[in-house]
Structure 1
Amino acid sequence: MELKQLASFVAVADRLSFVRAAEALHLSQPALSAQIHQLEQDLGVRLLERNRRVVKLTDAGAVFLLEARDLLARAQAAGDRARKAAQGEIGRLRIAFVFSAALEVVPQIVADFRNQHPGVRLDLVNLRTVNQVQGLLDGSLDIGFLRLPTTHPQLNITIIHSEPFAAILPPGHRLAAEAHFALEMLRDEAFVSYGREWAPGYFDATMRMCAQAGFSPHVVQETSEMYTAIALTAVGVGVAIVPRSVLLAHSHKVEVRQLPESLGVSEIGVATRAAEPSKLVQAFVDLARSHRSQEDAVL
């Protein structure tokens, strides 16, 4: 049973005339008759009663007409959806982000993309950088907002956000009121750090900052989440270096000292598979890049 046979049957059933149906379908009458005959052979039932003067539906034909219309409509809808998916108008995107990206970066990009692509389903999940890389490589994710520096030969990564670092100290720390605070003043402090296991590039970057300041930090506690680092700092476990934006959502009281951008900046990138062919993914990345452009213009 083929779609063209269904279309031919519906055309005859609507007009109850092989002549008029053949004209509407731009077919010869013998070709149309052959299609209807083959359809009846495939189904094993007679759909139309016809003679020289009259064409009418059998009981089986009347029932089959409803089903044929439905099948043709669904085939048309499937084709429409396939074309829209190819153009990036509908579909599904699986997107992961590090916690800090959820504060300043991801929400507006997601909101703007939903406004532009209302037919696209967005699945959002909070994942650490190393887990995002794995998800992109194994195909369980389409897009990742991850902490930089991160590189992989099978990924395309574009910087879309950068911000200064801040040093955070326990409440009442002796350096909190220091008029000319500098990172090297923390050389003798215990450090809480976002662990290398979860964001190796970020960990190495903060270690380099300390090395540039002339010391190697004494890390007493690593954590997989930056807000946990803030909480541990608040109760006196140690000091920490974090991107400025993570302080926006914390509820713990800590002392904050801004660090100069000359020491480095914290960056977030949007990552996709290097061989990603999807127009939908590309549309999302293009939007994310435009947000970076707007951010640069403001700065």
Structure 2
Amino acid sequence: MDLNQLKSFVAVAHQQNLTQAAETLHLSQPAVSAQIKALEKNLDVQLFDRNAQGMSLTSAGKVLLPRAETMLQQMHHLDSFAQSIKNDFHLQSKVGIIQMLPVPFLTECVGILQTEFPHIHQSFSLGLSGIILNQVKQRELTGGFFVGDNPYRNVHTVDIMPLKFEVVMAQKWLGHFENNQKAMQQLPWISLSAFSALTRFTQKIWRQWKVTPTTALQCDDMYALLNLVEAGHGVALLPSHYLDVHAQRDAIVRLPEIQLTEMLSFIYAIDLEQDPIIEAWKHTLAKVTQRIEQM
């Protein structure tokens, strides 16, 4: 057996689907299928039951999975250590951040990381939640921040704090708004792209109110989005902490009847569980979260 066979085995075990596993590994489906068959032949045991719904682990596969995961984690840990030696003992951390991440939280994290883990070079890239989730899943990012429910079994989630979201509108519209289904249906909304967490949350609110409003325009930047709301171009859903800092209180109205709460999390690929960078981030997140809870 070789590492590529183990990687294919673990990927298929998590995805329960050859096509999705192949996408995760950046390989063709026949290549992944061949590696699984080679591993089963080498071990002389069937690891998967194949059916119309996909592939599920046999009893032997279930026994092998945790050992294979441990071996891959140890190999990744060794690769990271070897890379750190190559780079004069400096590890490279690539983390995706989202616009709705509270700035003080990130500042505190960086302070701890620089003090306690100076050998890790931190690099941050701004993106939308859905894109960051896929980049973490594909191992293009070491980790990232995400809001909402994580749909992937091969991506781990560390809960940080709940974030509240509110619907806001221009002050001049308040006299025309009534807290009922008809009014919600008639409001023009400012939409966001499909990769934005705010899109999913807005659609959740629409489902709660059983409405399908029209969208006046689309904007993925929260700063521009708030300015558009203040100018009366539409209503939108925004994080409460962002509104506390940036909203002009005399220009908009925050609707307490229309809000929801979602969890802010840090995400990383499951096979990075023992990675030194992820361990540093988990340690840091625990310290900062504890400080927040004590406030």
Q: Could you tell me the TM-score, scaled by structure 2's length? A: 0.61
Query: Matched residues in 1 for 2:159 and 2:257: separation?
Result: 20
CA shift, 1:85, in A, is: 5.3
Identity of aligned residues (%): 11
Runs of 4+ in 1 over 4 A off after TM superposition: 81-86, 181-185
2:246 to 239, 247, 250: 250
Amino acid at match of 2:234: G
Q: Contact conserved, 1:193 with 1:241, CA < 8 A, in 2?
A: no
Counterpart in 2 of 1:272?
268
For 1:236, the equivalent position in structure 2 comes to: 232
Change (3 A) 1:237 1:96: same
Mark the CA change 1:186 to 1:165 in structure 2 (over 3 Å): closer, same or farther: same
Structure number with bigger Rg:
1
Q: Is the counterpart of residue 134 in structure 1 residue 118 in structure 2?
A: no
Structure 1: runs of 5+ lacking an equivalent: 1-80
Q: What corresponds to 1:150 in structure 2? A: 150
CA contact (8 A) 1:231 1:252 kept: no
Q: C-alpha separation between the residues in 2 aligned to 1:193 and 1:149?
A: 20
Distance 1:257 1:128, change over 3 A: same
CA distance in 2, matches of 1:270, 1:260: 29
Q: Does 1:97 align with 2:97?
A: yes
Please name the residue that 2:189 is paired with: 191
- Structure 1 285/250 Cα, relative in aligned 2: closer, same or farther at 3 Å? same
**8 Å contact from structure 2 (residues 198, 238) kept in 1:** no
Letter in 2 for 1:295: I
Does the aligned pair in 2 maintain the 1:194–1:226 contact within 8 Å? Answer: no
Instruction: Quote the offset at 1:232 in angstroms.
Output: 1.8
The answer to whether the 8 Å contact 1:189/1:217 transfers is: yes
1:203 aligns with 2:163: no
Residues 154 and 269, structure 2, Cα contact 8 Å, conserved in 1: yes
What is the 5 A alignment of 1:1-299? Answer: 82=81, 90-175=90-175, 182=179, 186-195=184-193, 197-199=194-196, 202-248=198-244, 250=246, 254-259=251-256, 263-276=259-272, 277-298=274-295
Deviations 1:89-148 (A, max 9, x none): 852211110111153432221222212212221111111122212322332210101232
**Deviation per residue, 1:11-40 (Å, 9 max, x gap):** xxxxxxxxxxxxxxxxxxxxxxxxxxxxxx
Aligned length: 210
Equivalent position amino acid for 2:280 in 1: A
Task: Please state how far the C-alpha of 1:230 moved relative to its aligned partner.
Answer: 1.2
Letter of the 1:193 counterpart: S
TM-score of the pair, normalised by structure 1: 0.60
Separation in 1, partners of 2:192, 2:245: 17
TM superposition shift of 1:260: 6.0
Output the CA distance in 2 between the equivalents of 1:182 and 1:106: 36
1:269 is displaced (CA, Å) by 1.2
Provide the alpha-carbon RMSD of the alignment: 3.2
